[in-house]
Amino acid sequence: MITYNRLNYSDETLRELFRAIVKPRIIEEKMLNLLRQGKISKWFSGIGQEAISVGATMALEEDEYIMTLHRNLGVFTSRKMPFLKLFNQWQGNENGYSKGRERSFHFGNNEHHIVGMISHLGPQLTIANGISLAHKLRKENKVSLAFTGEGGTSEGDFHEALNVASVWDLPVIFVIENNGYGLSTPVNEQYRAESLIDKAKGFGMEGVQIDGNNILAVYDTIKGVRDYCIREQKPYLLECMTFRMRGHEEASGTKYVPQDLISEWAKKDPVLCALLTYARCSSSSLIRARSHALTSRSSFA
């Protein structure tokens, strides 16, 4: 279980966070069914990692840019991208965001201030630098936020981006989603540092490691980090500890992942823990939360 500290957040804020974290899970459950039925051909799952995408997005202003990767469905839903267009995207239809050129998470949208990846791991981090440099030069009080997996931290771009952000005093939030695996490579074969947050010191920036499955911890930390980056005009590194509950992508499976690790992390499911704590969950309240998440008007805007 996860222990939540609601701090001084209002009931309304908690409700908003709660609805936002349920949405990507419902979509994923649907997509996994469609995949089994052969109606979609590829899916990168963020199940178990929703608190990071959702908490981070909700903590920023709507016009602050986010650089997404392949497991950040919660960013797209929390920025209230219209479901119809999103589903068209994943079907590879011409009405999707990438106009039928591909059918996955390699897309963004300026209107929603999301810069999508083009599959390569690393460049998102330096793009965030560019956006934050523009904010700095225009004296706008804004941050940009870039995601990376722990695997992506072994890319040269990670080091270049963090170094430049530090030297140029750029207000960027770098978020590592440490989910234990990069494809089939576990973290103990990926790096020798005790924790990735130790690298912040090497770049001369502040950083903190947090529980990435606790939506309130993610939300509250990123709100504070955002204030810091704007006030001090400096970057910040966040390591969110989480777990990849499914395969790298759905076709690859999880045979190489020890079952007890999956079972252990299942107890810290970010959506179920939030439901059990805040919905005082019975199955009927779960159903109500789900139907609200799917039918709230803004989702279909």
Ligand X SMILES: Cc1ncc(C[n+]2csc(CCOP(=O)(O)OP(=O)(O)O)c2C)c(N)n1
Q: Is 191 a catalytic residue?
A: no
From ligand X, Mg ion, none, interface partner of 119 (C-beta below 5 to 8 A by class): ligand X
User: Under rule CB under 6 A, which residues in 173-192 are in contact with ligand X?
Assistant: 177, 179, 181-183
How far apart are alpha carbons 199 and 210 in whole angstroms?
A: 15
Return the residue of 24, 74, 116, 151 that touches ligand X, per CB under 6 A.
Answer: 151
CA dist 78 and 58 (Å) reads: 7
Q: How many helices (H) and strands (E) does the chain have?
A: 11, 8
Backbone angles phi, psi at 182, to 5 degrees: -120, 110
Beta bridge partners of 238: 175, 208
156 CB-near residues (< 8 Å, 6+ apart): 122
Specify the stretch interacting with ligand X by CB under 6 A; choose among 84-92, 106-114, 143-151, 163-171: 143-151
Site for Mg ion in 133-152 (CB under 5 A): 149-151
The strand pair at 181-182 and 185-186 is best described as antiparallel
- Which of 23, 25, 71, 226 is the binder for ligand X (CB under 6 A)? 71
Shorter beta-carbon distance to ligand X: residue 140 or 160: 160
117-125, 196-204, 211-219, 272-280 -> range binding ligand X (CB under 6 A):
117-125
Q: Are 125 and 146 in contact (CB under 8 A)?
A: yes
State in angstroms the smallest separation of the CB of 119 from ligand X.
5
Burial class (CB in 10 A: 0-12, 13-18, 19+), 8: exposed
> Of these, 182, 212, 247, 270, which contacts Mg ion (CB under 5 A)?
182
**Catalytic pick from 226, 244, 246, 278?**
244
- The site for ligand X (CB under 6 A) is made up of 71, 119-122, 149-152, 155, 177, 179, 181-183, 244, 248
- The site for Mg ion (CB under 5 A) is made up of 149-151, 179, 182
